[in-house]
Amino acid sequence: AEVAPGAVHAPDWLGADRQRELLAACREWARPPAGLRTVRTPGGGTMTARQVCLGWHWHPYAYARTVVDGDGTPVKPFPAWLGALARGAVADTLGPAAVPAEPYDIALINFYDGDARMGMHRDGDERSDAPVVSLSLGDRCVFRFGNTDARTRPYTDVELRSGDLFVFGGPSRLAYHGVPRVHPGTAPPWLGLTGRLNITLRVSGL
Ligand code: MD3
Ligand code: FE
């Protein structure tokens, strides 16, 4: 379903086996060094979703090759199979012509427990306009997709569930978006995950 120009939601795109594989990989990536961390914002706040990065380390509001705001270690590599997954996701939703020439080289993995949220923001730290690929695992959430001008209305609320794919390309690449709430206890029982996990795949252009 196209939620806005360039923003396509593909429910249940990942089958059960691929969800379990991706979760197992995320659990490995979450281990130290360069594992799961709490992100501190310049204003002195903390993000409620904790994060792991692959390929490039995101910290508000730039990319680095080491965990500059954490344990200082080199960021874990971005595996080739995640790049293949990202290109397949773009081809399936926006069509083969929308697959970027540059390689996907960043994964940002956000872990949400029961009361984690993500405020309305734009993703502007990549130097590429390649589509962002988002994969959800675990609890259902309300994903709020806004507009390119302000973090306020108009916006569209979409429920994201385990296995869902969302691709943000074209004019939607710079739209405001956020996660106003997660629904605890709604993960599929066969997955074995408490909470929600979101993996975004990106092109750094760096
Ligand atoms: C629209 N993550 O990592 S996924 C983020 O569920 C982020 O963790 C949320 O916002 C999450 O930056 C929302 C959907 C998403 C991700 C990246 C986008 C929507 C996007 C980039 C550009 C436009
Ligand atoms: Fe974002």
Q: How far is the CA of 115 from the centre of ligand 2 (A)?
A: 18
Residues 128-143, mean pLDDT to the nearest whole number: 98
Instruction: Give nearest CA residue, ligand 1 atom 15.
Output: 134
pTM of structure: 0.98
Q: Is the CB of 168 under 6 A from ligand 1?
A: yes
- In sequence order, what are the residues at sequence separation of 6 or more whose Cβ sits closer than 8 angstroms to the Cβ of residue 112? 48, 49, 118, 138, 139, 141, 179, 182, 195, 196, 197, 198
Distance CA 82, CA 78 (A): 7
Given a cut of 90, is residue 202 above it in pLDDT? yes
Of the bound ligands, which one is closest to the alpha carbon of residue 108? 1
Instruction: List domains and CATH numbers for the chain.
Output: 2-202 (2.60.120.590)
Provide the ipTM: 0.97
Tell me, letter by letter, the H, E, C secondary structure of 55-72: CCEEECCEEECECCCCCC
Distance CA 17, CA 23 (A): 10
Given a cut of 90, is residue 53 above it in pLDDT? yes
Helix (H, G, I), strand (E, B) or coil at 49: coil
Instruction: Give nearest CA residue, ligand 1 atom 4.
Output: 134
Q: What is the average pLDDT score of the chain?
A: 97
**Ligand 1 atom, smallest distance to 172 CA:** 23
Q: How far is the CA of 192 from the centre of ligand 1 (A)?
A: 23
Residue 106: how many other CB atoms lie within 10 Å: 26
Label residue 114 by pLDDT band (50, 70, 90): confident
Q: Is the CB of 118 under 6 A from ligand 1?
A: yes
Instruction: Give nearest CA residue, ligand 1 atom 13.
Output: 178
Q: How far is the CA of 21 from the centre of ligand 2 (A)?
A: 24
Residue 169: how many other CB atoms lie within 10 Å: 20
Phi-psi region of 83 (alpha: psi -120 to 50; beta: other; left: phi over 0): alpha
DSSP 19: H
